[in-house]
Amino acid sequence: MIHFKQVSKHFAGKAVVRDLTLEMAKGEFTVLIGTSGSGKSTTLKMINRLVEHDRGEILFAGEPIEKFRAQDLRRRMGYAIQSIGLFPHWTVEENIATVPQLLKWPKVKIRDRVTELLELLNLDPKQFRHRYPHQLSGGQQQRVGVARALASDPEVLLMDEPFGALDPVTRATLQEEVARIHKMTHRTIVLVTHDIDEALALADRIVLLNDGQVVQQGTPLELLTQPATPFVRDFFGGSD
């Protein structure tokens, strides 16, 4: 579904992503993990062209991503980020409906979809549909952010530390919801986190980045039991 071939990205002459080769299969849940500044967000943003790569090749559904207009890519890929980015003067319903509106879905279809998503994310539609973001808790805002990313049933869901600022209980609940959504919809999901437990709980495959490079990628079990380097072992807190 998404294929990076020796991709690099420089900012001000400095490589922040180097020679990245990665494949994310259709339906697979990939977690990009690494310390702060390791290039996770940059990698994610190259998938929906919020950041343009400057070397190598990125393929989406077999085609170089330059072939897609950035706005088309962003309609096909939901994007949820930590700092949520809900529009403060729009209701929950209007926020969730952002992409369906752009796609000119009929009003009734949009309404039904918003109801369905609110239910999926455990927000009572009657209670929350017409609220404004400032009338929601942090966890509820994050849920709306995830609902918005899912609204048009995109082929790919990109999430950048989507539960970053939440308390552990809310965080665990939302992780379970995302896992459930993945089980139900088999969407291709790429999630960025620096939280090891989150990665282990959610990922089909984990990609560990350090200093803009892949240190190791594999299943959670592989990274835990067959760390390729001492760095990997230390990162996952290996005890042996």
Name which of residues 21 to 80 contact Mg ion (CB under 5 A): 41
Is 7 a binder of ligand ADP (CB under 6 A)? Answer: no
What residues does 216 pair with on adjacent strands?
208
Number of residues in contact with ligand ADP under rule CB under 6 A: 11
Give the residue among 183, 47, 177, 167 at the shortest CA–CA distance from 123: 177
d(CA 106, CA 168): 39
User: How many alpha carbons fall within 13 Å on the CB side of residue 236?
Assistant: 27
Instruction: Tell me if 34 contacts ligand ADP by CB under 6 A.
Output: yes
Among 1, 16, 96, 158, indicate the residue that binds ligand ADP (CB under 6 A).
Answer: 16
Could you tell me if 152 and 75 are in contact, meaning their C-beta atoms sit under 8 angstroms apart? Answer: yes
2, 31, 42, 77: which one binds ligand ADP (CB under 6 A): 42
Q: Does 48 bind ligand ADP (CB under 6 A)?
A: no
Per DSSP, the three-state class of 27 is: coil
Binder of ligand ADP out of 4, 39, 139, 217 (CB under 6 A): 39
Residue 200 burial (C-beta neighbours within 10 Å; 0-12, 13-18, 19+) = middle
Q: Which of 217, 73, 56, 90 is nearest to 152 (CA)?
A: 73
Q: Which stretch binds ligand ADP (CB under 6 A): 10-18, 97-105, 106-114, 232-240?
A: 10-18
Rule CB under 6 A: is residue 152 a binding residue for ligand ADP? Answer: no
Question: Quick one: which segment of 40-48, 53-61, 75-83, 145-153 binds ligand ADP (CB under 6 A)?
Answer: 40-48
The interface partner of residue 36, options being ligand ADP, Mg ion, none and the CB cut-off 5 to 8 Å by kind, is: ligand ADP
Asked whether position 162 contacts ligand ADP by CB under 6 A, the answer is no
Residues 213 and 236: their CA atoms lie apart, in Å, by 17
Residue 63: beta bridge partners?
Answer: 60
Q: Closer to Mg ion at the Cβ: 51 or 61?
A: 51
Using CB under 6 A, pick the residue from 30, 41, 91, 188 that binds ligand ADP: 41
Residue numbers at the binding site for ligand ADP (CB under 6 A): 11-12, 16, 34, 36-42
